[in-house]
Structure 1
């Protein structure tokens, strides 16, 4: 037993002696002061990632306020209300159609931004400030063209006078005034289109209500009887094609498709 204890002690002594002669490896830490310094005209990768995350998080607001999405989704909502069907088509379908039509209508603007802003910046041909400017200019031209085409320049001057700003040329409108003016213009246009959509369906409601009243069937809701006739009307006149085609033609940029 004593021999075993002595052998264990000798082995431990030899192990500690050998390990003491070998230095313990320590991780090396080096600081390169004279390394490559990024150009002041480009963003560092961390800021680029943060900018990309911010853009993705605000993408729904950008699509709603800077593109044709607002007008399309409001007009489609008016059509559903005029038909008298509360959930047909459902909200998911209306939003999906609006997104697809938005990408179709805005494709010239998106291509302009990609060709003149994103590609030159990734190839380090322009600075990030020039990239932001090249991104904003096509969107600005789209907004101004829609406002001018539908004679809604008064929205710009109204907002400018409200904040006591003087604008002599519409093309020089700052973003803080142009963006809400474009939103007001889109609301006015969509409501005008909504009125035109309502007129034929109101006529159907009035005819059905008059027939039911003359027949003495006052206990039957006219909406329940008129909705099938509204659906038949929109099918006979190919209403979806007329509506979608009218929406696309209502945008000036659609001429470039």
Structure 2
């Protein structure tokens, strides 16, 4: 009897291992979409891009450096959520204690909690209206199809608000330099040639990168 059960047990173990591999490959395939639509990455990369344009350097720092910095800042911001997912869903699933359906449910709970904290009620109401669904009574009644775009709208709004504040001091420098050049009669000299070094110097003196990253991380808490 035991000899007959051994092949079936081995086959079941192989099947579970294959399912875990397939699920892992699927997650890797959709990881870029998850990163942009369900994490802090969207707000961070937009603010860093707006900062680069505010300084006036279109290609410096390069895109690879900006994306790498945004990825690490996303990891720092999402660390509590990722730790909860690892403890409650990923590790139990990899050890075979829970199946894929339970792992998905345990993964979605902390992710939804993070997105709900960052999402405005107006954006949620807009998505519910656009989906022509009945008004939800609790947050559990809101589907991911409604929550994720509402979260992205809120992230875009927050990123543009932070970017506007970042633009103001650099805009002031541009205005001052342009006014001085006009007063001196130097109409042919492009203001950017003088304003750019001044903006870089100011940004370095105030330790601008630290201030921006600290403000970004603080905006999620």
TM-score normalized by structure 1? 0.79
Larger radius of gyration: 1
TM-fit CA distance, 1:206: 0.3
1:174 aligns with 2:174: no
In the TM superposition, 1:16-31 aligns within 5 A as none
Equivalent of residue 224 in structure 1, options 181, 193, 210: 193
Contact 1:144 1:171 in 2 (8 A): no
- Distance in 2 separating the partners of 1:206 and 1:60: 40
1:160 aligns with 2:128: yes
- Distance in 2 separating the partners of 1:216 and 1:34: 90
Equivalent of residue 88 in structure 2, options 108, 113, 116: 116
TM-fit CA distance, 1:52: 1.3
Q: Deviations over 1:188-232 (max 9, x none)?
A: 000000100000011000000000001111111111110111011
- Distance in 1 separating the partners of 2:33 and 2:74: 14
The 1:93–1:212 alpha-carbon spacing in structure 2 relative to 1, beyond 3 Å, is same
TM-fit CA distance, 1:116: 0.4
Partner of 2:203: 234
- In structure 1, runs of 5+ residues without a counterpart are 1-30, 253-257
1:137 aligns with 2:109: yes
- Distance in 2 separating the partners of 1:113 and 1:125: 15
Contact 2:47 2:160 in 1 (8 A): yes
TM-fit CA distance, 1:120: 1.7
When the two chains are superposed, the root-mean-square deviation of aligned CA atoms in Å is 2.0
Q: Deviations over 1:17-37 (max 9, x none)?
A: xxxxxxxxxxxxxx9997236
Contact 2:131 2:146 in 1 (8 A): no
List structure 1 runs of 4+ shifted beyond 3 angstroms: 31-34
Contact 1:72 1:247 in 2 (8 A): yes
- Select between 114-123 and 193-202 the one with higher mean Cα deviation: 114-123
Q: Deviations over 1:71-104 (max 9, x none)?
A: 0000000000000011111101100100011111
- Distance in 2 separating the partners of 1:155 and 1:62: 19
Query: Matched residue pairs, number?
Result: 216
- Distance in 2 separating the partners of 1:65 and 1:32: 46
Q: Helix, strand or coil for the counterpart of 1:35?
A: helix
- In structure 2, runs of 5+ residues without a counterpart are none
Equivalent of residue 41 in structure 2, options 69, 80, 83: 69
Partner of 1:23: none
TM-fit CA distance, 1:43: 6.4
Q: Helix, strand or coil for the counterpart of 2:8?
A: coil
Partner of 1:127: 99
More helix by share: 2
- Distance in 2 separating the partners of 1:45 and 1:121: 11
TM-score normalized by structure 2? 0.91
Equivalent of residue 182 in structure 2, options 200, 213, 217: 213
